Amino acid sequence: MELIKQFIDIILHIDKHLANIINEYGALTYSILFLVVFVETGFVIMPFLPGDSLLFAAGAFAANGELNLLILLGLLMAAAILGDTINYLIGRKLGKHAYTLSWVNHQHLDKAQAFYDTYGGKAIILARFVPIVRTFAPFVAGIGSMPYLKFISYNIIGGIAWVMICVFAGYFFGQIEIVKKNFELVILAIIVISILPIAIEVWNARRTAASSK
């Protein structure tokens, strides 16, 4: 329970924790941000790491000059694209055997599969903006043997779009006084908006199932 509380605190106060990291590690902050984004997108056992909120907060710090915007964008885009690529390759290597593995969350896998079935290849792009599904979508694409050239094109588009939208949102809005004073509420709003597609999909699925009875 204490671990969950600490995790929630990190998410809701991501700005304060990122400020501490910048003050303590300086230029190494870029490596830390790269690693977090890479791990969150690259390994199905780490879908709980902050994504959208971290990018937003990083953009806000770039706006006040504590982080270099161009370096930030370049490294995070590379991390996002490389992470999805690794995830895809792991899924392709494991194939259908992935569904028998105990360390893979099958509920999250099923949600990603449903998302993929609904949106097809575009799911690789759209999933970037949906927590948890973001981590599992490339894995599912690999399991389903999506052609690599098709995957990598969606991967690059999605990675660039996700990083640019989230970082620039923080860059342009993170320094607004009302946002700075209510950063926790803004992060909470980002999380709610991010999980809304999943909630809608679940609601629609249950409504369809109920009507078919």
Return the pLDDT at 161.
Answer: 94
Q: What is the pLDDT of residue 23?
A: 94
**Cα 57 to Cα 15: distance, rounded to the nearest angstrom:** 6
What is the pLDDT, as a whole number, of residue 66? 94
C-alpha dihedral (92, 44, 113, 154), degrees to nearest 10: -70
Q: What does the pLDDT read at residue 75?
A: 97
Q: What is the pTM (predicted TM-score) of this model?
A: 0.83
Q: How far apart, in whole angstroms, are the C-alpha atoms of residue 186 and residue 165?
A: 15
3-class DSSP state of 194? helix
**Rounded to whole angstroms, how far apart are CA atoms 95 and 54?**
31
Name, in order, each residue with C-beta under 8 angstroms of 55's C-beta and a sequence gap of 6 or more: 37, 76, 162, 163, 166, 167, 170
Environment class of 175 (CB within 10 Å of its CB; exposed 0-12, middle 13-18, buried 19+)? middle
pLDDT in the model for residue 209: 61
What is the token pair recorded at 191? 């999380």
Joined together, the tokens standing for residue 109 give: 């896998």
Residues 39/83, Cβ–Cβ less than 8 Å? yes
Question: Which pLDDT score is estimated for 212?
Answer: 64
pLDDT of 202: 60
Kindly give the confidence (pLDDT) of every residue in the chain, 213 residues in length, as a single tens digit, with 9 standing for 90 and above.
555 566 566 666 788 889 999 999 999 999 999 999 999 999 888 777 878 889 999 999 999 999 999 999 999 999 999 999 999 999 999 887 877 777 677 777 777 777 777 777 788 888 888 888 888 889 988 888 788 899 999 999 999 999 999 999 999 988 788 887 787 788 778 777 777 766 666 676 667 666 666
- Domain ranges within the chain, ordered by starting residue: 2-211
Provide the pLDDT for residue 126.
Answer: 85
